[in-house]
Amino acid sequence: MNKFLHVLVYVFLIVAAVGLYFELELNKKRAELTDRNKMQENYIVRIAKTVEKVEPAKDAVFEIKLDASPVEAKLVDVPDMENVLEDYQAPLEQTNLETYNWDNQTDRRQLRSVYVLDAEGKPVMDGTEFLKTGKGTEDELLNRLFESAKAQQSRLNTTRAALTELRGKLETVVNELNKLKPEARQDKVTIVEKNEKIAKLEAEKVELENQIVKLKSQIDELNQEVTSLKDEVAAAKDETEAVKEELEAKKKMIEQLKEMIKRSVRAPGERVTGGGPVVTALPAGDKGKVVEADNENMFVIVEFSEDAMKQLKGEDLRGPLPLLELGLRRPGFQGEAGEFIGRIRLRQEVQGKPYVICDILGAWEQDKVQVNDILFAD
C-alpha cells in the first residue's frame, strides 16, 4: 500500500510539473499575442491617419483662357478665347482633407472589441458562434477605413487620368507655339533691321539737334555772364553805399555818446534818483556785451539784454540806474584769472535804448577792453 501511495505521489508530481511547464509556455504565447495585437492596433491607427475621411468639394472650378484667334497680319482688339481647363477636374487639387484619427481611448477600445456586446457587456451569440460584425466592433471601423481607402484609390486613378489628359493638351499647345516661333524669329529679324535704320537716322537727327542746342546754350551762357556781371556791379555799389551809411550812423552815435559822457561826468559816489527802489545787486550770469571801448578815456558803452535791463530798472524800466560794479570776461582768453578781463561801474544810461555808459576800473584790469567782451554779474 505504501508503494502504491509513493507511486501515486510521484505521478501527481510529474503531472504538476507538466502542468506548470504548459502554464509557462501559455503565458509566453499570451504575452506574444498581446504584443502582436498592440502592434497591429498601433499600425491600424497610423494607417488610418493616411486615409481621407471626407470627399473633396465638388464645386471647385479653374479657368485658363487661351487666345484661339489665328495669327494674321492684323490687330485683333477682342480675340476669341477658350477655357483650356473646361473639362479639368478641379476638385482633385484639394489638399489637407480630413483623415481618420483613432488615436483616442474610445476608438482604440473599439479596435480591441472583436465581438458584439450586449447591455451586460457579454458577447452576443450568432447561432453557435459569437457575432463579430456590427456597431461597436473592430469590423465596423475596419470596413469604414476600407471603403474610404477604396474611394481614395478611385480619386487617385481619376487624378492619373486627368494628368494624362492635361499632358495631351499641353503637348498640343507646345506644338502650336513651336510652329509660331520660326515665323516670330523672322519677323523679329526684320524688325531689328528696320529699327537699326531708324536708330541711325534718329542718331543723326539727335546729333544735329544737339549742335543747335549747344550753340543756343553758349549764347545763353554768354548772355547770362553779361547779366551776372551787371548784377554784381550793381550789388557791389549797393553794398558799398549801405556800408558807408551804417558806418556814418555808428560814428554819429559814438560821438553823441561821447558827448553825453562828457556832459554827465559826476563824482563816483553820486546816484541817480528815480521813481522806484534802487537795486544793489544782480543775479549771477551774463548780462550784456561791450559795443564800444575807449581804454584811453577809461569808459565803455555796454548793451544790456532785455532781462538784464528789467533786473536793473524793474519790469516797467522806470526805476533808477544803480551804480553797480560788474565783471568783464572774454571767451577763449587765457590770463592769470582765466577769461576775466576786468571790472566796470555803471554810470549813465542812454534814454530809449538798452545802452549804458560805464567807467573802466583800472585796478582790476587784466587786458584792454575790446568790443564783444561779455558783461557778467557774480
- pLDDT (tens digit per residue) in 1-46: 677 777 877 887 888 888 887 887 787 777 777 788 888 888 888 8
Which range is least confidently modeled, 44-48, 79-83, 212-216, 327-331? 79-83
Average pLDDT over residues 121-136: 83
Query: What's the pLDDT score for residue 373?
Result: 94
Tally Cβ neighbours within 10 Å of residue 355. 21
Q: How far is CA 253 from the centre of its chain?
A: 62
pLDDT grade for 256, boundaries at 50, 70 and 90? low
CB 256 within 8 A of CB 263: no
CB 124 within 8 A of CB 130: yes
pLDDT grade for 353, boundaries at 50, 70 and 90? confident
Angle between helices 138-263 and 2-48 (to 10 degrees): 50
Query: What's the pLDDT score for residue 152?
Result: 85
- Quick: pLDDT tens for 334-352: 888 899 999 999 998 888 7
Query: What's the pLDDT score for residue 271?
Result: 42
Query: What's the pLDDT score for residue 145?
Result: 87
**pLDDT of 276 over the 70 cut:** no
Nearest to 132 by CA among 116, 120, 121, 119: 116
pLDDT above 70: percentage of residues in the chain: 92
Q: How far apart are CA 82 and CA 66, in angstroms?
A: 5
At 207, the amino acid letter reads E
Query: What's the pLDDT score for residue 277?
Result: 60
Q: 229 or 278: which carries more pLDDT confidence?
A: 229
Q: How far is CA 9 from the centre of its chain?
A: 95
Cell numbers 550812423: residue: 249
Average pLDDT over residues 156-181: 82
Residues with Cβ within 8 Å of 343's Cβ and at least 6 positions away in sequence, in order, are: 325, 326, 327, 328, 361, 364
Rounded to whole angstroms, the maximal C-alpha distance in the chain is 170
**pLDDT of 290 over the 60 cut:** yes
Nearest to 263 by CA among 350, 361, 360: 350
Entry pTM: 0.40
Average confidence score pLDDT of the chain:
83
Nearest to 375 by CA among 333, 340, 323: 340
- Quick: pLDDT tens for 181-191: 787 788 888 88
Q: 276 or 283: which carries more pLDDT confidence?
A: 283
Average pLDDT over residues 82-90: 76
3-state secondary structure the chain: CHHHHHHHHHHHHHHHHHHHHHHHHHHHHHHHHHHHHHHHHHHHHHHHCCCECCCCCCCCCCCCEEECCCCCCCCCCCCCEEECCCCCCHHHHCCCCCECCCCCHHHHHHHCCCCCECCCCCECEECCEECCCCCCCHHHHHHHHHHHHHHHHHHHHHHHHHHHHHHHHHHHHHHHHHHHHHHHHHHHHHHHHHHHHHHHHHHHHHHHHHHHHHHHHHHHHHHHHHHHHHHHHHHHHHHHHHHHHHHHHHHHHHHHHHHHHHHCCCCCCCCCCCCCCCCCCCCCEEEEEEEEEECCCCEEEEEECHHHHHHHHCCCCCCCCCCCEEEEECCCCCECCECEEEEEEEEEECCCCCEEEEEEEHHHCCCCCCCCCEEEEC
- Quick: pLDDT tens for 60-78: 777 787 777 777 777 888 8
At 215, the amino acid letter reads L
